[in-house]
Structure 1
Amino acid sequence: MTLTELRYIVAVARERHFGRAAEACFVSQPTLSVAIKKLEEELEVKLFERGGSEVSVTPLGEEIIRQAQATLESAASIKEIARRGKDPLAGPLRLGVIYTIGPYLLPDLVRNAIDHVPQMPLMLHENFTVRLLEMLRTGELDCTILAEPFPDTGLAIAPLYDEPFMVAVPRHHPLASRASISSAELKQQTMLLLGTGHCFRDHVLEVCPEFARFSSDTEGIRKSFEGSSLETIKHMVASGMGITVVPQLSVPADHGTPDHPSLLRYIPFSDPVPTRRVVLAWRRSFTRYEAIAALRNAVYQCPLPGVRRVTD
């Protein structure tokens, strides 16, 4: 039995699919399948039911996978304990960031980290919240920057900032001249959304819950488009395909100025303004506390226009 085999069975249990699990582990599907079969033969138990389009975990397999998860966390802790005698700021810090934060925070954050803690290079990984939490639990990441809420996993959490949302519309849209807009006024608009898996999609659906009912067999689907990134959606809004909701930091600082005319207009929400809380999360067993503090300070040194820093 090896840690690699344990990572494989945890990945299959998470993905419920051998192909996707192999992709997540950066190995071929045959390699993953052979390793899991070898482990099943060694343990003389069946971990997964293989049938249909989805893999299911056997009752005994559920217990073994929970223990495998705990073992992977313990293995990660051993590596951290071994570093205790060293400078906690020396060496890379593996940081995960969700897609709707990374492009707007990381350029300034990396620059600040290089200026103030050059001995602690940031190893960056962008992904969905669910995947980042999994990588955090298995020790593939040291910490993550996420937006609440997310599943309670017993992590240590430090708030960073509260970020308001804005409405993005084409510059010639009837709403473009408005000083503010209420969420109720968006109900009759064509809303462009991020695809499933993005937590910001869920935040937008909280603001505009009527869009949650859209499915392929309803007329409402004609009113929505699912994009892979905020920037893709912004370009589609600029072309007149609809409107969208974006986080404050994604709004260009110089948008709409005479020197930088924009195809988009960004309109604030009227009270109550929808916001999201962005936090820094890490395993409680992670021992480089000074590194976490240095990263948090580097975030606070970023411009963060329009957001409210939370220093509690």
Structure 2
Amino acid sequence: MDLRALKTFEACVRLGHFQKAAEELQYAPSTVTLQIQRLEADLGVSLFVRDGKRVIVSEAGRWLHQEAAALLKSIGSIRQTVSDIAAGDDGTVRFAAIEPLASQRLAPVIAGFCKSRPKVELTMEVSGSKSILDRVRAGELDFGICSAPHASLMLEFEPLVEERLGVMLPANHPLAERDSIEASDLAGLTVLVKEPTCIYRELWETTFCPAGRSRFSSIEVGSFFVIQQMVNASAGVGIVPIYGGLELAGSTVIRPFADLNPVLGIGIVYRDKNLLGKAALLLMNAVREVCASEPSAS
């Protein structure tokens, strides 16, 4: 069935007159009559009963009007949704980011995005770089925010920030009085580090233990915020990215290294920008803007 004919039929029944339907639809009266005749021929039934000058809706016409009204409303909703998706005001976005950047920089961005585009179904995950890269490559995520991918993954990468490792210390620790710390100052201390699959753990090992053998007594901890609490409890010193938000006011501080420069590049990774929806592109741009407006962790 021709949707235009259904729309014309619905208007005729709703307004109760062919002429009024023609005026609303901006058709010539003859066009309305022709569309109704074609629709009746297509269905093989009479939709209107002519009674002199009166035109009465038949039983089949009354049933069709109910169905046509619902169908046209659904089509209108479909058109609006498609338009909203094209504008970035609807649709779905799936992405993941590593910690602590996710909580320290991205949380306000995500909150603002959700507030301005409430119809977008947003899924944000917090994971490690390797998992993020694998899932972006597999198409399970629209994009990720993590360390640079290996060339073999054939992913696009846009650098955002450079993060530096520092040492988290209790505020009353003797080393906390210094502006920076040398690696040798950690001798004899218990060092709290992330798990082996963490990109920051990899940076720590390649920078401080290039021979593959750790010079420090260490404890593996799966969360930077748990490291924060353990440092606060004097269980050791933590190796963490330098973010002021990770410090506990009056309890813990983070100091940079004086003799080494452990730097990790973090950026946006995706397969093909042409495959991304408008909402995903808008969110990526918001992430770029906040990272460009804030100083790098250093």
* TM > 0.5 fold call: yes
Distance 1:305 1:173 in 2: 29
The answer to whether structure 1 residue 298 and structure 2 residue 283 are counterparts is: no
- Higher mean alpha-carbon deviation, 270-279 vs 122-131, is at 270-279
Query: In structure 1, how many angstroms separate the alpha carbons of the residues matched to 2:87 and 2:220?
Result: 42
Q: Letter of the 1:160 partner, please give it.
A: L
Aligned to 1:307: 296
**Corresponding residue number in structure 1 for 2:254:** 266
State how far apart, in whole Å, the 2-side matches of 1:300 and 1:137 are: 21
Give 2:237's aligned residue: 243
Following TM superposition, by how much is the alpha carbon of 1:305 offset from its aligned partner in structure 2, in angstroms? 4.9
Distance 1:197 1:254 in 2: 24
Query: Could you say which residue in structure 2 is the equivalent of 1:43?
Result: none
Inter-partner Cα distance in structure 1 for 2:247 and 2:234: 21
1:136 maps to which residue?
136
CA distance in 1, matches of 2:102, 2:189: 28
1:160 Cα deviation from its structure 2 partner: 1.3
| Deviation of 1:300 (Å) | 3.8
RMSD over aligned Cα, in angstroms? 3.2
Query: Are residues 150 and 241 of structure 1, via their aligned partners in 2, closer, same or farther at CA, if it must alter by over 3 Å?
Result: farther
The residue aligned with 1:5 is: none
Partner of 1:134, secondary structure, is helix
Q: Deviations over 1:106-133 (max 9, x none)?
A: 3112123235554544311222222222
Give SS of 1:244's match.
strand
Q: 1:281 to 1:84 in 2, by over 3 A?
A: farther
Cα separation, partners in 2 of 1:240 and 1:295, compared to 1, 3 Å: same
Q: Which residue of 2 aligns with 1:113?
A: 113
Letter in 2 for 1:204: W
Q: Distance in 1 between matches of 2:232 and 2:158?
A: 36
Given that residues 193 and 238 in structure 2 are in contact (C-alpha distance below 8 angstroms), is that contact kept between their aligned partners in structure 1? Answer: yes
- Which residue of structure 2 aligns with residue 40 of structure 1? none
Q: What amino acid does structure 2 have at the position aligned with 1:252?
A: G
Contact 1:113 1:121 in 2 (8 A): no
| 1:232 alignment partner in structure 2 | 226
Pick closer, same or farther for the CA change 1:254–1:125 going to 2, 3 Å: closer
Match of 1:275 in 2: 263
**1:92 CA displacement:** 1.5
Answer whether contact 2:85 2:278 (CA < 8 A) is retained: no
Larger-gyration structure (1/2): 2
Counterpart-to-counterpart distance in 2, 1:177 and 1:270 = 14
Gaps of 5+ in 1: 1-82, 215-219
* Equivalent residue pairs, number: 215
SS at match of 1:136: helix
* Structure 1 residues 133 and 294: CA distance shift in structure 2, 3 A: same
| Alpha-carbon spacing, 1:211–1:190, altered in 2? closer, same or farther (3 Å) | farther
CA distance in 1, matches of 2:149, 2:188: 28
Deviation at 1:203, TM superposition (A): 1.4
Work out the CA distance in 2 between the residues paired with 1:131 and 1:208.
25
1:244 Cα deviation after fit: 1.5
Cα deviation for residue 201 of structure 1 reads: 0.9
**Matches of 1:135 and 1:149 in 2, distance apart?**
12
Once the two structures are TM-superposed, the CA of residue 191 in structure 1 deviates from its matched residue by 1.1
Q: How does the TM-score come out when normalised to structure 1?
A: 0.59
Q: Is the 8 A contact 1:191 1:225 kept in 2?
A: yes
Q: Which amino acid aligns with 2:245?
A: P
Q: Percent identity?
A: 24
Kept after mapping to 1: 8 A contact 2:159/2:268: yes
Q: How far apart, CA to CA, are the structure 1 residues paired with 2:142 and 2:148?
A: 18
Aligned-partner Cα distance in 1 for 2:198–2:117: 31
**TM-score, scaled to structure 2:** 0.61
Name the one with the larger helix percent: 2
